[in-house]
């Protein structure tokens, strides 16, 4: 059995394995930020990614249900509020619905998930299942894609404002909000996995969980691109 990595080496492995598989490298995503997607491709991404967004509070509630520590739960519960809001018009899901309206989608149809591609559904549901079936440590590790999120969000806002001027600026509020939140969330999550992965096998399981999560995000884009090729 390999030795336990020190915190710095462990984080370096997580960053390296995550970064090289992060979905900003996916061809469809590269095209999105290069301004090469059609209006319909943007819409398809928004309506399919919305299904992913709706799984997040369910996933986070499942994480909560796995923790015996009230202090952990008090921190993690903020993620559910971030997506659901405290009022109907607030929160990440409501912001995503405004983004959908801003790219010309019907919000009622969006909420019905009628246009979600089967492979997108399978991938997103697999994420919730993973979190339910694995340890709390692996569940938290799977959230570490947020490490890379502030950077991708900042680049996305700039790219969309440049290349897709037909999308109203205010509808990008979701991306703007995620820059700061993803930073806080990922710092909390990395502190947790450093503190709780106490064997090399557990560290390896954390890396595997992060890789699995990148596969889920990648599969989502594969499915959208296959159905809506350039």
Q: Give residues in contact with a copy of itself (CB under 8 A).
A: 54, 57-59, 61-62, 64-68, 70-71, 73-74, 77, 80-81, 83-88, 91, 93, 132
CB of 153 to a copy of itself, least distance (A): 22
DSSP of 98-126, one letter per residue? HHHHHTT--HHHHHHTTT--HHHHHHHHH
- Phi and psi dihedrals of 229, rounded to 5? -65, 160
d(CA 147, CA 60): 17
> What is the rounded distance in angstroms from the CA atom of residue 59 to the CA atom of residue 129?
8
Angle at 212 between CA 183 and CA 144, to 5 degrees: 10
Task: Please report how close the Cβ of residue 93 comes to a copy of itself at its closest, in angstroms.
Answer: 6
Query: Closest separation between CB of residue 100 and a copy of itself, Å?
Result: 15
- CB-wise, 20 or 74, nearer to a copy of itself? 74
- Torsion, Cα 159 222 210 49, to 10 degrees, reads 60
Left (φ > 0), alpha (ψ -120 to 50) or beta: where does 35 sit?
left
For a copy of itself, the closer of residues 13 and 128 by Cβ is 128
**C-beta closer to a copy of itself: residue 62 or 171:** 62
Q: Which is nearer to a copy of itself, 42 or 46 (CB)?
A: 46
178's enclosing H/E stretch is helix 173-196
- C-beta of 23 vs 66, nearer to a copy of itself: 66
């Amino acid at each position: 059995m390999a030795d336990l990595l020190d915190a710095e080496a462990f984080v370096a492995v997580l960053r390296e394995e995550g970064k090289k598989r992060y979905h900003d490298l996916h061809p469809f995503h590269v095209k999105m930020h290069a301004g090469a997607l059609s209006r319909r491709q943007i819409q398809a991404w928004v309506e399919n990614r919305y299904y992913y967004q709706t799984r997040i509070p369910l996933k986070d509630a499942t994480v909560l249900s796995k923790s015996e520590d009230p202090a952990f739960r008090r921190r993690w519960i903020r993620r559910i509020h971030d997506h659901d809001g405290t009022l109907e018009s607030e929160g990440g899901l409501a912001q995503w619905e405004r983004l959908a309206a801003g790219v010309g989608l019907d919000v009622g149809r969006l909420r019905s998930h009628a246009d979600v591609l089967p492979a997108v559904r399978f991938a997103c549901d697999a994420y919730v299942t993973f979190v339910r079936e694995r340890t709390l440590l692996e569940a938290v590790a799977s959230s570490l894609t947020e490490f890379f999120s502030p950077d991708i969000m900042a680049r996305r806002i700039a790219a969309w404002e440049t290349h897709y001027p037909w999308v109203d600026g205010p509808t990008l509020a979701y991306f703007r909000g995620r820059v700061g939140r993803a930073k806080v969330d990922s710092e909390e999550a990395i502190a947790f996995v450093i503190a709780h992965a106490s064997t090399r096998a557990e560290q390896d399981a954390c890396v595997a969980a992060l890789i699995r999560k990148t596969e889920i995000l990648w599969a989502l884009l594969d499915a959208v691109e296959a159905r809506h090729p350039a």
